[in-house]
Amino acid sequence: MSHYLKVWLACARYSITRTLMFRGDFFVWSLVELFWMTVNLLLISVIYEHTKSIAGWSKYEMMLLVGTSMLIQRFLMGFFWSSIFEMGRNVRSGNFDFFLAQPGNIMFMTTTRKLDPDGLMNSVVAAAVVFYSARQLHLHPGVLDLFLYAVLIVCGLVIHYSILVLSVSAVFWLTSAQGVEGGYFTLTEFSRLPREAFTGVSRILFVWILPVVVVSNAPAKILLHGFDAAWVAWLVVVAAAWFVLAVFVFHRGLRRYASASS
């Protein structure tokens, strides 16, 4: 593990140095993400000018839910986003050979090579939204609640990471993963909605089969209602299952890989 930590720290140092070389690009993308987050929060404020509750959630409960969803997304984009989507381009171009020649786990090397400081920077804003909402709701979570909230955030991150790896791994069979990025953003729109808003087929699909709703609802409910053993255990098991599936599919795809380089 210390070996992989050193490798990751070296990659992170390189990414930060590269970002500092193009500071204008960094600030522009940070502002774009900040603008997108602001629009979502303003939308909530506008909606709650006309209603007091949505699926049983008040204004600041909804803001806490949205802040939690944003926090998971910002971590995903900061730590993994660029590396995972670059994998598809590398497989098509043959540059994926570079990772095969490295002395380490290929999936780790491929999906953690780049760090996006702009995404991580806005994770502070998302955390501030959660903190502000909790203050408005007069919540006083204990140490255990905060610890479990962090654990469930990590579980949500693992689930999103696994879904992305599974999606992009299709490039080993299809030679193209175009549309995955847009499809992912469409999917994550549901993570900012309360679980109670889903019924029928949509509940089965987005709550149980593709748990994109639960990954943000479960941590938010820990802060709102305290420890719930069933929620915690279920999300940990689901995160582990999705990760195992992603590892399996990725390594099956590796068996089909044939270099496209000269």
pLDDT of the residue at 244: 96
**Mean pLDDT throughout 75-102?**
84
Q: Percent of the chain at pLDDT above 90?
A: 26
Least confident of 51-55, 149-153, 221-225: 51-55
pLDDT tens digit string along 5-17? 888 888 888 888 8
Contact (CB, 8 A) for 144 and 151 = no
pLDDT of the residue at 178: 63
| Domain limits, the chain | 2-256
Give the C-alpha separation, 208 to 225, whole Å.
21
**Mean pLDDT throughout 213-227?**
87
Q: Percent of the chain at pLDDT above 70?
A: 95
Q: Is the pLDDT of residue 256 over 60?
A: yes
pLDDT tens digit string along 95-145? 888 888 877 888 998 998 888 888 888 888 899 999 999 999 999 888 988
The pLDDT confidence band at residue 175, using thresholds 50, 70 and 90, is low
The pLDDT confidence band at residue 30, using thresholds 50, 70 and 90, is confident
**Mean pLDDT throughout 155-159?**
93
pLDDT of the residue at 260: 58
Q: Is the pLDDT of residue 67 over 80?
A: yes
pTM: 0.88
pLDDT of the residue at 152: 93
